[in-house]
Structure 1
Amino acid sequence: MKKITTLLLVSTFLVQCSTVPITGRKRLDLVSDAQALPASFAQYKGFIEKNKISKNTKETKEIKEVGKRISEAVDRFMRANNMSKEADAYRWEFNLIEDKTVNAWCMPGGKVVFYTGILPICENEDGIAAVMGHEVAHAFARHGQERMSQAMAQQGLSLAVAYGTRNDENSKIWNLVYGVGSQVGMLAYSRTHESEADKLGLIFMIMAGYNGEEAAQVWVRMSKRTGKSSQPEFLSTHPSNESRIQTLKAYLPEATALAKKFNATPIVK
């Protein structure tokens, strides 16, 4: 009986897969936008209320304008590729938070935060676009929902929970994502997301009219700022700076060709 149950679960997980647009990677897809996005939007709202939004109007305007252009490029791609329903689910929002942390992130559904501490690494508008493209790509590829699905599979949760609609069940799924990030077993999976977001982000920033060469330069500057990692790459949730630089440089010609192919409406910078 136990073996039959296991086989049924494995079969269901195999069936409940979808494909990441553009990259073609198969992803586990047990969590719908209807389950994930309300929790995402609520958490983002709470974060914005509790943290200090930058009063630098110039920098804030730049973050919002770059975000708008890149999200519009993504929206254009989705609507041209039979993904209008998915595109309608996004609620794009871009905020700059006064914080020295060198970071930026995007939650499911398109809620993006930049910390002022990352702006010197970005250095210019194209650098901001490189980071923005990467973060927007996480939302586009539904990495958050995939992490929830993976967490559910690892925890052996029932399919009833997977498809539950009650708030407490949704919260349980959401919280699982943030309980497994430090486990070594999840790290390689996270690196897959990071590498995929690097490539997709490069395409999106070029589609939006930005200089794709700057994506690798952001990581050159990051490397100078942080130095080499003190731990091996296989124990990191992110690829090493050197690895990212090499990957972005090597992928630039293909990203440029894909951006040209997807960009039905050219944008003049």
Structure 2
Amino acid sequence: MNTWTIAHPTLPTLSDLHALVSDPAEAAERTRQTRQRLENGQLKLEQWLILRDVRGVEGVALISANSRVPTIPRFRRDVSPAHFTALLRAVHHRAGPQGRLVLQEDLAPMNWDAAAAAGWHIDSEELIYQTDLRGRLATPEPDARSLRTTDLDRPDLQALLAALDRADLSLPDDWTLVGLPAADGTLVALGACGPARPGTGGIDLIGVHPAYRGRGLGKRLHAYLLGCLAGQCSDHSGVTGADNLAMRGVFAASGSQHIHTQLYFRALP
């Protein structure tokens, strides 16, 4: 006999959605924001699932209407494997065959076996890095070339993007595009930066041409882009695969700190 229930929230139980947030003030603010988004039609109560047992709320999951947006559930730190699997199975059923799931170490157990039992297949392990930009000075880079997003249509940049397997690249209008050249002036490295969310900047280190890797171009470009963000943002947040040793080296060289690990899953049919 199950000792838990999984149900949608109601307006009277809306605060349960953020019951697992440790800071009461933050939980209250998140509840207020959720209520506002519901009133504005940006969310629906049936997008949420709440797992409860005799102890109260054990887990919460928000399932996006867009299957490409992963569900990132939050659980009690000591949630049982059975409870954990039960909510992930319910998310799988609701998200459907195109569903995506992310387990983040500070929000959920990194339990591959329990996720597999709920119908999820591991895709990758990703590392989240954060860089404090307060007081950071711009990094001199005399070879850096500022580009416009419309320059992406240039034949030389199209060739570089194709070599980087990024031919479909598009950037927000408020982002800055930067290139680094080789000795002969040919652009061989590309990166972009801009606002990601209030106070936090993002970087797309688009890449270094395969023939020019291992020469420090990626580290130079990343450091320069962080300097560009420093006047606009208090911090930078970035993600890379656990197996991407080159990018992890770039983050380390820039003074970025590994703050979280995420496991990415896709739904099994």
TM-score normalised by the chain length of structure 1: 0.28
RCO (CA 8 Å, sep 6+): is it higher in 1 or 2?
2
Which one has a larger percent strand, Structure 1 or Structure 2? 2
Which one has a larger percent helix, Structure 1 or Structure 2? 1
